[in-house]
Amino acid sequence: MDRSTGHLTKDGIRLHDAADFDGMMVAGELAATILDRIAEHVVPGQSTAELDRLIETWVTEAGATSATIGYRGYQHASCISVNHVVCHGIPGPKTLKDGDILNIDVTVIVDGWFGDTSRMYVAGKLPRKAERLIEVTHDALMKGIEAVKPGATFGDIGYAIQSYVEAQRMSVVRDFCGHGLGRVFHAPPNVLHYGRPKTGPVLEEGMFFTIEPMVNLGRPETKVLADDWTAVTRDKSLSAQFEHSVGVTADGVQIFTLSPAGRFHPTYG
C-alpha cells in the first residue's frame, strides 16, 4: 500500500506517514498545553477577550502560529463559546458570571502541522444540569474515538456518538462537523457526529481528522448571529463541545491533543 504523504484515498482523504504523526504530536501537545494553562484563568469576572489575549501570547511565545487569526477573516487566537453558544464564539469584553460554562477551542500551527482541540470549563460553581451535559459530551467524544480503527467507517463514529447522546435524552448538533486536518486546517472528510453504522468512507491507517461533537440539552437546531460567526442554540438551551485531533494507526487510534496535565476530562468540583 502507498503510505506516502502524497497519497489520497478515493474519498480525497490524505494518508500520512510516521514522520507526519510526529509532527501532529508536537502541534497537538502545544494546543493541549495551552488549554491546560488557561484553566486557572477561567474565573467569574474574567473577560473572554483576556482569555484570548493570554492564549495568543502563549502561542507566540512557543514560536507557533495561530491557525484562526486571519482564517476567513476571523481575528482571534481562540473561539470561546459560553452557555448557549454552540461554537465559534468570538472573544470580547463581556465577563464571565458564576456558573457559566464555556468551550475554549484553540488551533495552532507548528512546523506546518495543525493541532486543533477544545474542551469545557466552568467559571465558579458548576450547575448540576451543566455538569451532566459536559460529562455526556466528553463521553460522546471518547466513544467516537473508540470507534476509530482501520476498516471502520466514518458512519460508525457518528453512530457511536449519536446513539449515546440520544440515549441520555440530549441532542447532537448537525450543522457543524469535524474535519480532516494535517498540513491544512480543514480537509476532507466532513466528520459527522451522527450517522449509521457501516456507512461513509472507510478509515485507513494514516488518516488525520478531528472529532468535535456539540451536544445540546434541548433541540439540535442552531443559528448564526449577525456577526457571521457566533452559532447559538435556537431554543437557547445549553450546549457543550469537546474536540480532539486524532490519527488512525495500524490497530486503532492515536490522540494528538491529550492533556499533558491530565485535565481534559471534566473532573470539576
Where on the chain is the footprint of ligand MF3 (CB under 6 A)?
68, 71-72, 74, 79, 88, 105, 107, 116, 210, 212, 229, 243
* Residue 72 C-beta: closest distance to ligand MF3, Å: 6
Instruction: Considering the complex, state which of residue 165 and residue 211 has its C-beta at the smaller distance from ligand MF3.
Output: 211
* Residue 49 C-beta: closest distance to Co ion, Å: 19
- How far are the Cα atoms of 29, 217, 222 from residue 173, in angstroms, in the given order? 27, 11, 8
Determine the Cα–Cα distance for residues 172 and 169; give it in Å rounded to an integer. 10
* Residue 116 sits in the site that holds Co ion (CB under 5 A): yes
Residues 166-185, interacting with Co ion (CB under 5 A): none
Instruction: Considering the complex, state which of residue 58 and residue 205 has its C-beta at the smaller distance from ligand MF3.
Output: 58
* Residue 100 sits in the site that holds Co ion (CB under 5 A): no
Instruction: Considering the complex, state which of residue 126 and residue 255 has its C-beta at the smaller distance from ligand MF3.
Output: 255
* Residue 20 sits in the site that holds Co ion (CB under 5 A): no
3-state secondary structure of 29: helix
Among candidate residues 122, 121, 92, the one with its CA nearest the CA of residue 104:
121
| C-beta separation of 199 from 11 below 8 A | no
Helix 128-146, helix 154-167: angle, nearest 10: 150
Whose cell is 476571523? That residue is 74
Residues at the site binding Co ion, with contacts judged by CB under 5 A? 105, 116, 118, 210, 243
